[in-house]
Amino acid sequence: MTSAQATCLADALAAGYGILAQGGSALIAVERTIGLLEQSGLFNAGRGANRQLDGVQRMDAAIMEGTQLKAGAVASIEGIAHPITAARLVMEETDHVLLVGPFAGRFAQHFKLDRHRSTGAPRRLSYDRILGKQKRSTRERHGTVGAVALDRSGTVAAGASTGGIDSMLPGRVGDTPLIGCGVYADNQSGAVSMTGAGEGIIRLVIAKSICDRLAMGKSPAVAARQALRMLVSRIRGSAGALILSPDGRFAIRHVTPHMAAGWWSGTGQPTVRGEFP
């Protein structure tokens, strides 16, 4: 984690907490926090999103609140600075949960969301070449920006936004926009936001799995440890989790080498670290 990323994380935490301190909703706090990270260009989301193998940035995002279990998500959206806001609008302005591809982009444009013009141009490659590039890649960088929050009304919310992983086939969608995989929020259990290699998170529906453990009385730390241990032992997956229970207990856990994250209780300075052993 660079010093610029640490500063940005601290600023985003302070902004989100400020909304909660003024009586704002957990949902808006989560959206605002993630929006600042998308805007920065310092993380793999929004302006800083990874490119797929044809050179195009396609982004995923999701948000969920725990009172009525409302959720919204977008997948493979292009040219939008704040996919997390597009996800919130799907939740609030439609009867749907997930919009994808060019029609997700048209939806965002209808609501006049800020555009983001990606540098560079799409690469014209045969599909054989694209598949070959994907198979030859040995890099495993990935990342998702996310947040969880609890407001004064007792409502929890979770959100996440990502540009995916390295060496993605065009059209690849990870865990982030899939409710129950990358995010989940329920006032009866808690809120979870995931980061990591999405394919493994999807296969074990990790966010919902952690919430189910919270509902059975497990602490956030124990629920995270059990779910991440299962991810590693069953499919050698790699992930990290932000977990918040309705009584305010939280945990940040990961089985990745690093995970830049933090929290703030409103006193002193926000805590930001690159690892949470």
Which 3 state secondary structure label does DSSP give 218? coil
Q: How long is the chain? A: 277
Task: Return the amino acid letter for 243.
Answer: I
Which 3 state secondary structure label does DSSP give 10? helix
Pick from 237, 236, 195, 228: which is nearest to 209 by CA? 228
The answer to whether the CB of 53 falls within 8 A of the CB of 130 is yes
Which 3 state secondary structure label does DSSP give 46? helix
Cα dihedral 131, 52, 12, 72, rounded to 10, equals -90
User: Between vectors from CA 26 to CA 173 and to CA 78, what angle results, nearest 5°?
Assistant: 30
**C-alpha distance from residue 254 to each of 159, 232, 238, 265 (Å):** 17, 11, 8, 21
Q: Residues 6 or more apart from 7 whose CB is under 8 A from it?
A: none
Pick from 265, 257, 245, 114: which is nearest to 184 by CA? 245
Pick from 70, 66, 71, 218: which is nearest to 154 by CA? 66
Which tokens go with 91? Answer: 């939740």
Which tokens go with 3? Answer: 């010093």
- Known catalytic residue at 144: yes
Q: Which of 33, 144, 155, 176 is catalytic?
A: 144
| Catalytic positions | 144
